[in-house]
Amino acid sequence: MEWIVKHFSSRWEGARWSVDVGDHPHETVLLKLDCTKAREQLGWTPTLDLATTLTWITDWYRAYQHSLDMRNVTEEQIARFEEIESSAERIVPFETLRPRS
């Protein structure tokens, strides 16, 4: 989870975070980012890698924070997604981006 927070904060000027050193359950028991079942049972594969997805989410929220035209921002992201989805060259799935322990 830490690398996701680092990714968000690197894209959001002024963002700060710190690790809470308290006694907490390990997040892998609670949070799983795994599309294996969707791939095996539905033949689905992600169009965007996780880093790109996080970047688009951050960009959307930053646009909202700056009171931009959110309909336009959303439609632009949808158009970009559809362009990628329809191209023969899709972005690498996030499995290849998992951080090394």
Task: Give the chain's mean pLDDT.
Answer: 79
Give Dmax over CA atoms of the chain in angstroms: 47
pTM (global) more than 0.75: no
Is the predicted pLDDT of residue 68 greater than 90, yes or no?
yes
The C-alpha R_g of the chain, in whole angstroms, comes to 16
Which tens digit of pLDDT belongs to each residue from 25-44?
776 666 667 788 888 999 88
Q: Give percent of the chain above pLDDT 70.
A: 78
- Return d(Cα 1, Cα 10) in angstroms, integer: 14
Other Cβ atoms less than 10 A from the Cβ of 54: the count is 19
